[in-house]
Amino acid sequence: MKNFIFASILLALLLIVNAAPFQLNKRATTFDPCDFGDFIDVNIRTDPPESGKKESYDVSGNLTQGDITKDISFLFIVYLGEEEQLGTPYFQNFTDSHKAGSPFKISASDVPTPTQLPDSYRLEVAVGDPDKTFFGCAVATVGNSSKKSKIIDFYKLI
């Protein structure tokens, strides 16, 4: 009986030790609020995004700083390196209008990912209007970097 208990405990420890490294390898991308606008929720399907492949985003929130207007307001996604923009920013117009204070949701599939993503980069997602007004924003740092990425002004990109 003692041998059976010892063998069971040993087996359980081996299973835990074998599973632990795989849990540590998963890098979840966490989005935080930007310095402007309301915080928006961002979910990406491939986490983290893979270089040169298309990515899908689901963005939602409740914006208090402006109305989303059909065919005018847009979703904006950009990858940023330490000192420069990576690839071309992605724009997608909203197909529905939403009043300030009401929830919204938009999905973007086939968003191009830069062909050569560095070990560390920033991913910024925003909702705004062409008059350079951003109602909401979220930012994530992907990878480990001892140097904080330089935030590139959104307005210079559009």
Residue 14 clears pLDDT 60, i.e. is over it: no
**Residue 126 neighbours by CB distance under 10 Å:** 24
Among candidate residues 104, 28, 110, 120, the one with its CA nearest the CA of residue 65? 104
User: Using 50, 70 and 90 to split pLDDT, how confident is the model at 27?
Assistant: low
Average pLDDT taken over every residue of the chain: 79
Q: Is this structure's pTM higher than 0.85?
A: no
pLDDT in tens, 32-54: 998 888 899 999 998 788 888 89
- List, in order of start, the domains of the chain with CATH numbers: 28-157 (2.60.40.770)
Stretch 6-21: mean pLDDT: 52
Show the tokens assigned to 84. Answer: 């420069």
